[in-house]
């Protein structure tokens, strides 16, 4: 299984059709997405039937797989609506469905031959558990984020199942599927997509039970909030362990996030395919790129050892970003203009960075900005579409970003 040329699949989030295209174009080997029901992101755009059709065609035409999440803990009435959706998935020839509930697995098996991946929501953590789910008919297991790579390797060897692990993104502090705070405090079923992220709140902790309280009876802390997972330095271990798929969390996150993580991890894999190792200054470049997207402090979670107190993110805000996404290229008219959907304001005279699907960032100093009617403007407005000068190498769906502050080292210099 493991040789110098073999690399795992990079599986990126697709919260919408546009994000699917961005993820695939930036190098993801597969995407996962949800329909309007049955997934765990009710607030995400998700896909209509037609968008799903277009998304599958787009991904398949570029050699990427599409996995559809059906990983809610469905109630009886939800389950009644599932067969109709399954018919669509069969017709579209999606590559697999991601499921956590045994009733859903059973319903799928009664109505289709769809390939079933077990969602991380089922918290499969050990060899015996994987064996049980294999008996139930799943072919791939998305392991709980609490499992180390070494343990994952054992699970793969003992079961012969495909193994998928999270490599990047936000993490639940609880065992996945084992948190119902939203259900009881907000009336929203977290396991049907209504999570209110109560784990990110600040809490006052009042200790009892004979523990001396010293001067502080209460401590304020974001004690249930996890740092974000980053596995870029663990890629060799993933490959050595034969992990089949590396998943990036974040269907609710931006195009910029989806594009950047897809580009960074797929570039890393291309490097490995060529060189058989990751020993390169490029590793610093990849890490640097991952710090340019919105994130909490990074941790390796439980990939190496079980996550300890250093994995707690005891802060409210995410890290200040060094970069901000300025827009997305909508149209390229060669030697004439780039049409940009603006995400954050930029100004004439500024230097923008265009992220090509493959290769180095293109720096583009823009002398002027025009509206579609041709009026020169002093500032681009978020939510609008503007024209800037043509730049060779730019392509439709390229992401454009802008540096908003110096990195600490540069600032010090």
Site residues (CB under 8 A) for another protein, limited to 355-384: 371-373, 375, 383-384
Pairing of strands 65-70, 96-99: parallel
Q: According to CB under 8 A, which one of 23, 129, 300, 380 is a site residue for another protein? A: 129
> 106 or 321, CB closer to another protein?
106
Give the nearest distance from C-beta 177 to another protein in angstroms: 6
**Tokens representing residue 333 in the block:** 């008219």
Tokens read off for 98: 């991601």
Work out how close the CB of 172 gets to another protein at its nearest, in angstroms, rounded to a whole number.
8
Q: Pick from 208, 360, 409, 412: which binds another protein (CB under 8 A)?
A: 208
The minimum distance between CB 46 and another protein, in angstroms, equals: 8
Any contact of residue 385 with another protein (CB under 8 A)? yes
Between residue 248 and residue 287, which ones bind another protein under the rule CB under 8 A? none
d(CA 410, CA 291): 15
Asked if residue 177 binds another protein (CB under 8 A), the reply is yes
Q: Does the footprint of another protein cover residue 217 (CB under 8 A)?
A: no
DSSP 8-state symbol, 77 = H
The answer to whether the Cα torsion of 69, 231, 252, 402 is positive or negative is: negative
Q: Which of 81, 202, 363, 395 binds another protein (CB under 8 A)?
A: 202
Only segment of 88-96, 206-214, 274-282, 356-364 that touches another protein (CB under 8 A): 206-214
Please report whether residue 173 would count as binding another protein according to CB under 8 A.
yes
Which residue, 113 or 375, has its beta carbon nearer to another protein? Answer: 375
What is the rounded CA–CA span in Å between residue 99 and residue 186? 25
Question: What are the Cα distances from residue 152, in Å, to 115, 127, 159, 301, 358?
Answer: 21, 9, 11, 14, 31
x/- site string to another protein, residues 89 to 118, per CB under 8 A?
A: -----------xxxxxxxx-----------
- Residue bearing tokens 């995410």: 318
Site size toward another protein, by CB under 8 A: 108
CA 333 to chain centre: 31
Structure tokens at 23: 């993820």
Q: Burial of 111 by CB count in 10 Å (0-12 exposed, 13-18 middle, 19+ buried)?
A: middle
79 binds another protein (CB under 8 A): yes
Q: How far is the CB of 102 from another protein (least distance, A)?
A: 4
Cα gap 33→45, rounded to integer Å: 10
- By CB under 8 A, name the one of 22, 64, 147, 388 that touches another protein: 147
In the complex with another protein, the residue whose CB is nearer, 103 or 356, is: 103
Burial class of residue 242 in the structure, from the number of CB atoms within 10 Å of its CB (0-12 exposed, 13-18 middle, 19+ buried): middle
**For another protein, which is the closer residue by CB, 7 or 72?**
72
Shortest approach of another protein to residue 384 CB, angstroms? 5
Alpha-carbon span 150 to 148, nearest angstrom: 5
85 token code pair: 């959706």
* Count of beta carbons in the 10 Å neighbourhood of residue 305: 10
Min. distance of Cβ 355 from another protein in angstroms? 20
Residues 226-255 that bind another protein (CB under 8 A): 226
Quickly tell me which residue has 């209110």 as its tokens.
196
Q: How far apart are CA 184 and CA 194, in angstroms?
A: 12
Site string for another protein, 4-23 (x = CB under 8 A): -------------x------
Considering only 149, 155, 290, 355, the residue that binds another protein (CB under 8 A) is 155
CB of 222 to another protein, least distance (A): 10
In the complex, least distance from residue 53 CB atom to another protein, rounded to whole angstroms: 7
Please give the full DSSP string across 66-130, using - where no structure is assigned: EEEEE-S---HHHHHHHHHHHHHHHHHT-SEEEE--HHHHHHHHHH----EEE-GGG---SHHHH
CB of 4 to another protein, least distance (A): 28
Report the alpha-carbon distance of residue 154 to residue 128 in Å, rounded: 11
Per CB under 8 A, the list member of 5, 61, 113, 135 interacting with another protein is 135
């Amino acid at each position: 299984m493991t040789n110098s040329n073999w690399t795992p699949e990079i599986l990126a989030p697709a919260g919408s059709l546009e994000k699917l295209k961005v993820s695939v174009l930036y190098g993801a080997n597969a995407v996962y997405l949800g329909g309007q029901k049955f997934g765990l992101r009710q607030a995400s755009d998700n896909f209509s039937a037609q968008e799903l059709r277009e998304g599958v065609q787009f991904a398949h035409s570029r050699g990427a797989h599409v996995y559809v999440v059906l990983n809610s803990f469905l109630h009886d009435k939800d389950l009644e609506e599932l067969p109709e959706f399954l018919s669509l998935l069969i017709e579209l020839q999606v590559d697999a469905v991601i499921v956590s509930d045994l009733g859903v697995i059973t319903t799928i098996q009664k109505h289709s031959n769809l390939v079933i991946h077990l969602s991380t929501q089922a918290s499969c953590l050990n060899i015996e558990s994987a064996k049980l789910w294999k008996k139930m008919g799943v072919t791939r297991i998305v392991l709980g984020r609490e499992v180390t790579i070494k343990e994952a390797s054992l699970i793969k060897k003992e079961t012969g199942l495909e193994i998928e692990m999270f490599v990047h993104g936000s993490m639940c502090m609880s065992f996945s599927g084992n948190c119902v705070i939203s259900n009881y405090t907000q009336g929203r079923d977290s396991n049907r997509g209504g999570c209110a992220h109560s784990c990110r709140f600040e809490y006052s902790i009042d200790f009892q039970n004979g523990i001396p309280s010293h001067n502080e009876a209460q401590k304020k802390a974001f004690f249930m909030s996890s740092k974000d997972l980053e596995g870029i330095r663990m890629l060799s271990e993933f490959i050595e362990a034969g992990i089949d798929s590396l998943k990036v969390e974040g269907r609710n996150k931006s195009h910029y996030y989806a594009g950047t993580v897809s580009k960074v991890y797929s570039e890393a894999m291309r490097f490995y395919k060529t060189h058989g190792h990751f020993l390169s200054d490029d590793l610093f470049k990849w890490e640097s790129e991952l710090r340019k997207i919105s994130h909490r402090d990074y941790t390796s979670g439980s990939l190496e050892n079980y996550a300890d107190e250093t994995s707690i993110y005891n802060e409210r805000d995410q890290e200040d970003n060094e970069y901000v996404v300025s827009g997305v290229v909508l149209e390229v008219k060669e030697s004439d203009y780039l049409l940009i959907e603006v995400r954050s304001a930029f100004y004439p005279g500024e230097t923008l960075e265009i992220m090509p699907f493959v290769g180095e960032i293109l720096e583009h100093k823009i002398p002027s900005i025009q509206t579609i009617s041709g009026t020169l403007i002093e500032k681009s407005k978020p939510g609008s579409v503007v024209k800037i000068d043509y730049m060779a190498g730019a392509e439709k769906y390229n992401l454009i970003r802008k540096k908003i502050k110096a990195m600490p080292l540069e600032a010090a210099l």
